[in-house]
Amino acid sequence: MDRRTFLNNIGLTVGGAAAATTMPVIGPSVAQAAVAPKGNIPSTPLKMGHMTFLTGPAAVLGEPSLKGHLLAAEEINAAGGILGKRKIETISADEQAGTDANVKELRRMKLSEKIDLFTGVISSGNTPALGPVAEELSLLTIFVDGCTDFLWDKAVPNPKYTFRITNIQSADGVTCALAAAQTWPKAKKIAHIHPDYSYGRNAFDHFMIAYSKLVPGAQVVSEGWPKLGTTDFTAHITKTISSQPDLIVSSVWGGDYVALYKQALRYGMFKDAKFASTIAFGVAPHAIGKDHPEGAIAGVHSNYYFTFPPGNRWPANKTFVEKYFKRWNEYPNFQSDGAYHTLYMYKTAIEKANRLVGGWPDEEAIISQLEGMYYETAAGYLYIRPDNHQGYKDAVTGFSKNVAEYPFQILDPATMITIPIRNITAPPNWPKPGQGHNDPTATYNWIKETWPQVT
């Protein structure tokens, strides 16, 4: 099979936006007419715990999560609360406290603050520790991120109370690989710089398994594994350049990435090699300067960038970006989108459950409505798979570009790459690690076993 057929079969599309420019402008979707809630609704406030990085280098990714959450809560409260009665009160917590402290905080929130919903969380190091505790406490939990495959593969294999919104992590490495293979199919010598923890390892594994299916002869010529929170990358950069790679792949994120790209610029790292990142533009958009190299694959964790889908084609995005900008005077990132729509999906599930059972629905009823839910988010349709409670939406990545409208560098909406999520993640019931294979994730095994090899 040749590469072009392969990518066509995968359904990778580039720059859907170009065709859309001639389409008529559609107004924002009209909110569903409010239906009076059934039965007696208590007027006690709903308490929510939102945990994200509020300090440390990850805050530039994490603060937007809380901002997205608060925006949704304010909107819902202004409209009278959920089911017209219950307003939202949010308790925030700083994820930077460390995994053990985060687990304690989760218990405290449930046991002494009596929260109704736990949400947020960014690090893949934290969700596998928090998930089992949330299950043990029977606490309805919707993680915004912390998207490691390990959560559903091993830590919580049969979730009941825990859900997760952003795309599963394996999709990130695979999306980056497909975009790179589509754009620079001749790149065979690959250099890697990844943070040394579960996310970086996951990105490395999934990039390589997918990329080597598409680009025969691809080989790793250099590896760098900086610690999370590193600010000096000069030695990694020199090593990377010394391996004379065709393509440099990185999953360094947050404030670390800002430090990395600024140093790499001065060493000329972007001059002779192409650059592809899974998550470079995942930070709050204004954190990326116009000095960032243009034309790089600058991923957004395969989730969402605020310029895409363009507002004329997907009004839900236009509305969301406008509201967010009006409230916070900045543009949202994928965490903002995730946190914002988490609350709205929760609200929708409660309204549906209320119509079925009346009164304030119990956890079981809310969960039954979240399972299998399809929801129109700013990023596109989001589907919650009932078997693993994982949110799936089409994966996106794009190319960095300077435009006059924004004082920072953006992802060019005209060349955004979209890939149907079902084609890059393992289907339900695919054997998990330890069930007949010992690959890092179910998706890794699924790609290894079922994807054809381009020749």
Q: With beta carbons less than 8 A apart as the criterion, state whether 172 and 279 touch.
A: yes
> With respect to another protein, which residue has the nearer C-beta, 96 or 99?
96
Residue for token digits 């007949």? 436
* Stretch binding another protein (CB under 8 A), from 24-32, 50-58, 112-120, 321-329: 50-58
Interaction of residue 267 with another protein, rule CB under 8 A = yes
Residues comprising the chain, all counted: 455
Cβ-based nearer residue to another protein, 290 or 355: 290
Q: State how far the Cα of 158 lies from the Cα of 68, in Å rounded to an integer.
A: 29
221 in contact with another protein (CB under 8 A): no
Q: Residue 248 interacts with another protein (CB under 8 A)?
A: no
Q: Which two tokens stand for residue 110?
A: 């449930």
Minimum distance of another protein from residue 66's CB (angstroms): 10
The H or E element containing residue 47 is strand 46-52
Provide the 10 A C-beta neighbour count for residue 229. 12
Interface residue with another protein, options 57, 81, 299, 398 (CB under 8 A)? 57
Binds another protein (CB under 8 A): choice among 42, 79, 196, 453? 196
Residue 297's φ and ψ, nearest 5 degrees, are -80, 110
Q: Under the criterion CB under 8 A, does residue 63 sit at the interface with another protein?
A: yes
Shortest spacing between CB 423 and another protein, in angstroms: 32
For β-strands 162-164 and 141-143, DSSP reports them as parallel
Instruction: Return the number of the residue (224 or 380) whose C-beta is nearest another protein.
Output: 224
Our finding on whether 229 is near another protein (CB under 8 A) is yes
Choose one: 59-67, 154-162, 202-210, 382-390; the region binding another protein (CB under 8 A). 59-67
Residue 104 interacting with another protein (CB under 8 A) = no
Task: Tell me: does residue 55 bind another protein (CB under 8 A).
Answer: yes
**Alpha-carbon gap, residue 228 to 247, rounded angstroms:** 22
Residues in a beta bridge with 294:
none
Interface pick for another protein out of 8, 231, 435, 453 (rule CB under 8 A): 231
Q: How far is it, in rounded angstroms, from Cα 122 to Cα 5?
A: 36
The verdict on 219 binding another protein (CB under 8 A) reads no
In the list 48, 58, 115, 417, the residue contacting another protein (rule: CB under 8 A) is 58
| Residue number with CB closer to another protein (160 or 286) | 286
Tell me the closest approach of the beta carbon of residue 189 to another protein, in angstroms: 16
**Which one, 98 or 452, has the nearer CB to another protein?**
98
Q: How far is the CB of 109 from another protein (least distance, A)?
A: 20
261, 240 contact by CB (below 8 A): no
With H, G, I as helix, E, B as strand and everything else as coil, classify residue 14: strand
CB of residue 108 vs another protein: minimum separation in angstroms?
A: 18
State residue 201 phi and psi, 5-degree precision. Answer: -65, -45
Amino acid at 75: E
The span from the CA of 256 to the CA of 446, in Å, is 32
DSSP H helices, 305-441, are 315-328, 334-357, 363-370
Residue 294 sits in the site that holds another protein (CB under 8 A) = no
Identify which range of 39-47, 286-294, 371-379, 393-401 contacts another protein by CB under 8 A.
Answer: 286-294
Q: At what angle do helices 442-450 and 198-214 cross, to 10 degrees?
A: 10
Please select the residue that binds another protein; options are 27, 78, 100, 266, rule is CB under 8 A: 266
Dist CA 112 CA 212 (whole Å) = 51
Residue 189 near residue 225, CB atoms below 8 Å: no
> Is the CB of 28 or the CB of 56 nearer to another protein?
56
Of 159, 173, 224, 413, which lies in the binding site for another protein, with binding defined by CB under 8 A? 224
Separation between Cα atoms, residue 129 and residue 131, nearest integer Å: 6
Long-range contacts of 110-114 (CB under 8 A, 24+ apart): 110/49, 110/137, 110/139, 111/137, 113/47, 113/49, 114/47
Residue 181 beta carbon to another protein: minimum distance, rounded to whole angstroms: 24
- Which range binds another protein by CB under 8 A, 84-92, 99-107, 116-124, 238-246? 238-246
Piece of the chain touching another protein by CB under 8 A; list 19-27, 141-149, 233-241, 340-348:
233-241
Residue 200 interacts with another protein (CB under 8 A)?
A: no
Specify the 3-state DSSP secondary structure of 93.
strand
Task: Report how many helices (DSSP H) and strands (DSSP E) the chain contains, helices first.
Answer: 15, 18
Interface contacts to another protein, rule CB under 8 A: 54-60, 63, 96, 196, 222-227, 229-232, 234-236, 238-239, 241-242, 255-256, 258-259, 262-263, 266-268, 284, 286-287, 289, 291
